[in-house]
Structure 1
Amino acid sequence: MKVETTRVAVPLRLRHAAGFFCSPDDLVAQLLPLIGTLLERGEPVALSVRPATERALHTALGNPAGLIVLAEPHPFTRGSGQTTAVRRARELRELTSESGHVTVVAEHDNRLDGVDGRYWTEFDAAANIALGDLPVSLLCFYPELPLHLEILDGARRNHPLLLVDGEFRHNPAHRLPREVLEATPTPAPALLGPPDVQLTYTAWQLREVRTAVANLLTGTSFTPARIEDIVLAINEIATNAVEHGTREAQLSLWLSADGLVCEVHDGGTLADPLPGLRAPRPTDPRGRGMWIARQLCDLLHVWQDRAGTHVRLHASP
């Protein structure tokens, strides 16, 4: 798989705003004039909303051609807001390359809340990075009374703009992604059972890491080309762990019908809580590994705790 490894330096182009609604009818009432005006101007609008909201909008607007429906979060990405942001950026990069500026209307989906709502804080912080150089207006709508208070707190800290009475206003509570995630760390994923392969390695044993991954996947439904991609992705993560984390790191592998899950653990800490969300610039001497791994995998989730830094990736055949 060919992966773009550099980007051209461009100014921040993302326009990221939060709006709030008290009921499904209130949400539709807010969206109709907003979307209708954009469509009348010939500007495309992409939807990432619940099915009931989508149906109500299409019915009221008469199924207009300029209304685009974005892909739903992949089952593998549920629980990882950073992975959803990466996949969304990939989708919108392709869309904006064809149509120019796009307005995205997104609705909170409580199925993605997790145990405490931190998924949305993570997603919005990651979106500010992953979508930063795209000509996109991202309008995120949240319920006024969500199940978790963190959802509202995160929305107020992550959005530079607020939509109030149909007008965009500066949000004085806005904070940079790193500040947000220092206060609300990225959540850990659900625990898995005993791994099929587990090994502790150093920088001198990275070849053993690559061999272990290739051996586990050989003879499965993974093609040789896909195995090569996955070995590359895991090698980048494993290398980062022993170069920037601690002298020793641990690799765990799980193989199932859904694909391969890999976890890499080291005892170090990251200065950047969400690495690899944007391709590095041509002048950057390092930093391509995590970006490449994110492009090659269905899921790549990074989190930290007192024990160190942890990465889980999932790769399907």
Structure 2
Amino acid sequence: MTNAEPPAPRTVVPIEPSLLIAEAFNQAQVTALRHSVTSCSHAAGLTGQRLDDFVLAVNELITNAVRHGGGQGRLRLWRRPGELICEVADHGQGISVRRLSERARPAPDTAGGWGLWLARELSDTMAVETGEAGTIVRITAALAAQPVTRPADS
């Protein structure tokens, strides 16, 4: 008989974080997708004004993908500890450096140009990768720490 130790338990690191939504969309799916984002974001812990702001930011991104990114896009929404992340990708012609560098609020009478500004203002972080093959915009919203519930002492 050998005194071999049992194998150590294996830790499996998930390839995908807590993926909530992964969906392709076009104009016809924008409203349903916004409702799905609202439900999943609320279930992940966003509430009140934070929820409204995040959903509006996502809506601006998916609307931009349809209008400026070839009529369709892909959305992924996932949760990591302490934050919710949404990524919207399209296959448009990209966003100009000038447009990306604009940080000022658009003039009130401006019909367009609000989408990226709103998404930036209404989310905690925003990152953009863009080029001739399309654009990927990723926004985040911090989630409030969940209180630890402890059993009552007897």
TM score, norm. by length of structure 2? 0.73
Query: CA separation of 1:252/1:275 partners in 2, compared to 1, >3 Å: closer, same or farther?
Result: farther
Q: Is residue 301 of structure 1 aligned with residue 124 of structure 2?
A: no
Distance 2:125 2:69 in 1: 21
Normalized per residue, the structure richer in helix is 1
Q: Is residue 232 of structure 1 aligned with residue 56 of structure 2?
A: yes
Within 5 Å, give how 1:201-280 maps onto structure 2.
201-273=25-97, 274=100, 277-280=103-106
**Matched residue type, 1:247:** G
Distance 1:276 1:216 in 2: 31
Distance 1:275 1:205 in 2: 30
Does structure 1 conserve the Cα–Cα contact (< 8 Å) formed by 2:78 and 2:84? yes
User: SS of the counterpart of 2:43?
Assistant: coil
Query: CA separation of 1:271/1:213 partners in 2, compared to 1, >3 Å: closer, same or farther?
Result: closer
The Cα shift of 1:242 comes to 0.7
| Number of residue equivalences | 126
Query: CA separation of 1:252/1:219 partners in 2, compared to 1, >3 Å: closer, same or farther?
Result: closer
Distance 1:275 1:198 in 2: 29
Distance 1:292 1:303 in 2: 17
Query: Deviation per CA, 1:289-311, whole angstroms, max 9, x where unpaired?
Result: 21111111111111124531110
Within 5 Å, give how 1:1-317 maps onto structure 2.
193=16, 195-273=19-97, 274=100, 277-305=103-131, 307-317=133-143
**Matched residue type, 1:210:** R
Query: Deviation per CA, 1:2-34, whole angstroms, max 9, x where unpaired?
Result: xxxxxxxxxxxxxxxxxxxxxxxxxxxxxxxxx
Paired position in structure 2 for 1:186: none
Query: CA separation of 1:232/1:315 partners in 2, compared to 1, >3 Å: closer, same or farther?
Result: same
Distance 1:285 1:201 in 2: 24
Please, which runs of 5 or more residues in structure 1 have no aligned partner? 1-191
Query: CA separation of 1:283/1:252 partners in 2, compared to 1, >3 Å: closer, same or farther?
Result: same
Distance 2:44 2:137 in 1: 24
Paired position in structure 1 for 2:9: none
User: SS of the counterpart of 1:281?
Assistant: coil
State percent identity of aligned pairs: 35
Does structure 2 conserve the Cα–Cα contact (< 8 Å) formed by 1:267 and 1:307? yes
**Matched residue type, 2:20:** D
Distance 2:54 2:43 in 1: 15
4+ runs deviating over 4 angstroms: none
TM score, norm. by length of structure 1? 0.37
Does structure 1 conserve the Cα–Cα contact (< 8 Å) formed by 2:93 and 2:132? no
Paired position in structure 1 for 2:7: none
Q: Which has the higher contact order (CA 8 A, sep 6+)?
A: 2
The Cα shift of 1:277 comes to 2.0
The Cα shift of 1:283 comes to 3.5
Does structure 1 conserve the Cα–Cα contact (< 8 Å) formed by 2:105 and 2:117? yes
